[in-house]
Amino acid sequence: MTDEINLLVTLNSGYVEPLKTMLYSVYVNNPDEHIHLWLLHASLTATEVAAIQQLTTAFGWTLSNEKVATDFAAGVPLIKRYPREMYFRLLSGQILPTTVKRVIYLDPDLLVINALRPLWEIDLQGHMLAAAVHRGVTGIVDSVNQLRLGTKTSYFNSGVLVMDLEQARAKIKLADITTAIDQHESELILPDQDILNFLYGADILEIPEEIWNYDTRKYLSYQTRSLNQHDIHWVMAHTVILHYCGTPKPWEAASDSKFTSLFLYHQQQLQRFMPTLARDPVE
């Protein structure tokens, strides 16, 4: 395992601003880490990429801007309300250089509030991927999704993934994804996540959701399931990744959850950080 952490993000223009806040949270809560950010997209403008580059340079990180050729995913029958970028995480083994052996994929709608390195160094135990399951109190979601998709494994959330790209290059094929969407389009609710579970669920190592992919909507569920052990003090000390699943998102005016203020705090600190870049440009 290299000392440098490979961090993968895939997005379109609609998530550039939340991405900046997420990246800032990684930086301030992992100040001694060197991050190589792999930015996968199909349509970001040069100005948007430059804004992300300004941040990564200030952080002392490396940025690789990987614009995916439009014909790469042309064969994927996209479901209209979802952007093509959602498939890039699954196909990242084919997109990124073969020298990249492992990545942590993160959705833009989350915060990293503690150390990422234990996730980077996790033993995948031969699995291709690591991911968390959002079970709630009863775990009924697993059963519903198994019935819906005809699977036997737990239903994994695709917002945080550790990916062994050497295995992914051998096992994840565009043709398999295309075929699965063609055959099951009417059954897909969250297309890329459903495809992840349908095709690759058996090759995923489960990691604790309350640490690595905490659903910020479910604070009371986590407390109940842990017999009140996982209160807000526990979360701040132990949880690494807060995931703002669903809507409204924390940057939207309608959001007023227990964890909204923490996102807004990081967003505010980023806004205060930005003027220092203009005053002290990085060489």
Distance separating alpha carbons of residues 279 and 212, to the nearest angstrom: 36
Predicted pLDDT of residue 150: 59
Predicted pLDDT of residue 35: 98
Sheet holding 214-215, edge to edge: 110-112, 241-243, 214-215
- C-beta separation of 96 from 67 below 8 A: no
pLDDT at residue 280 tops 50: yes
pLDDT at residue 147 tops 50: no
- C-beta separation of 80 from 72 below 8 A: no
Question: What is the residue-averaged pLDDT of the chain?
Answer: 89
- pLDDT, tens digit, 9 for 90 and up, residues 59-112: 999 999 999 986 766 666 666 666 778 789 999 999 999 999 999 999 999 999
* DSSP structure class, residue 85: G
pLDDT at residue 145 tops 60: no
* CATH number for the segment(s) 5-279: 3.90.550.10
Predicted pLDDT of residue 139: 52
Global model pTM greater than 0.85: yes
**Residue 194 — pLDDT band, cuts 50, 70, 90?**
confident
Reported for 182-189, long-range contacts at CB under 8 A and 24+ positions apart, including other chains, are 182/77, 184/149, 185/77, 185/79, 187/148, 187/149, 188/79, 189/148
- C-beta separation of 226 from 198 below 8 A: no
- pLDDT, tens digit, 9 for 90 and up, residues 103-142: 999 999 999 999 999 999 999 999 999 999 998 644 545 5
User: What is the SS3 assignment for 154?
Assistant: coil
The whole-number average pLDDT for the span 38-52 is: 96
pLDDT at residue 242 tops 70: yes
> Treating both helix axes as pointing N-terminal to C-terminal, what angle do 140-149 and 191-200 enclose, rounded to 10 degrees?
80
Distance separating alpha carbons of residues 29 and 116, to the nearest angstrom: 9
Burial class (CB in 10 A: 0-12, 13-18, 19+), 241: buried
- C-beta separation of 194 from 200 below 8 A: no
**Residue 282 — pLDDT band, cuts 50, 70, 90?**
very low
Candidate from 182-191, 226-235, 253-262 with smallest mean pLDDT: 182-191
Amino acid present at 28: V
